[in-house]
Amino acid sequence: MKPEKIDLEEHYPCPRCKRGQLKAIVLTEAFGCDRCNQIFGLAEESYTLEQLSTSYPYKKAWQWSGTVWRDDSRGIDSTYLPAAILVVILPLLLLWLPTVMDFPRTPSMVLWSLLTALLLVIPALMFWLSLRQRR
């Protein structure tokens, strides 16, 4: 479905709380919800509504289809997933591959393996926590 242009003269349902109504804020290109007091601004030539009053680093955004809001947020899923996969796979290939093969098990190799495991766990834990907080 093609998004419709958002008109400042119209009233829309709130995309966050789903109970309130969005009303234009005078002398601005913004809307305010009468229930949850969230503030939303227009972006991308008035086709996208972005949540402005948030401490979350990734702004929530919606597009109006004529009857319902469609989520148009570009968050952590699309930007950090390739980087997280690279952070997990690269140390695995570079450091654990020699330990899996028949190289002699020296104390430095065991320490290297433990360090690699730690380097894999910490970014994976950070990525999981950031995804969990987003929901």
Strand arrangement of the beta sheet that strand 30-33 belongs to? 12-13, 21-24, 30-33, 39-43, 48-51, 61-64, 69-71
* pLDDT recorded at residue 76: 54
pLDDT (tens digit per residue) in 21-46: 999 999 888 999 999 989 999 987 88
What band does 123 get if pLDDT is binned at 50, 70 and 90?
Answer: confident
Domain ranges of the chain: 12-71, 76-134
Q: What is the pLDDT of residue 24?
A: 92
Residue-wise over 30-50: b if at least 16 C-beta within 10 A, else e?
bbbbeeeebbbbbbeeeebbb
How confident is the model over 4-21, as pLDDT tens digits?
899 989 999 999 898 999
DSSP-derived 3-state class of residue 46? coil
Most confident of 21-25, 97-101, 103-107, 114-118: 21-25
Q: CA–CA distance from 23 to each of 83, 86, 95, 98, 134 (Å)?
A: 40, 44, 57, 63, 27
pLDDT of residue 40: 92
8 Å CB contact between 59 and 41: no
State pLDDT tens for residues 53-91: 666 666 788 999 988 998 887 655 555 666 667 777 776
Q: What is the pLDDT of residue 124?
A: 74
| Mean pLDDT comparison of 65-69, 101-105, 118-122, highest-scoring range | 65-69
How many C-beta atoms lie closer than 10 Å to residue 90's C-beta?
Answer: 12
- CA 66, distance to chain mean position in Å, is 25
Distance in angstroms (rounded) separating the CA atoms of residues 81 and 101: 29
Higher pLDDT, 31 or 2: 31
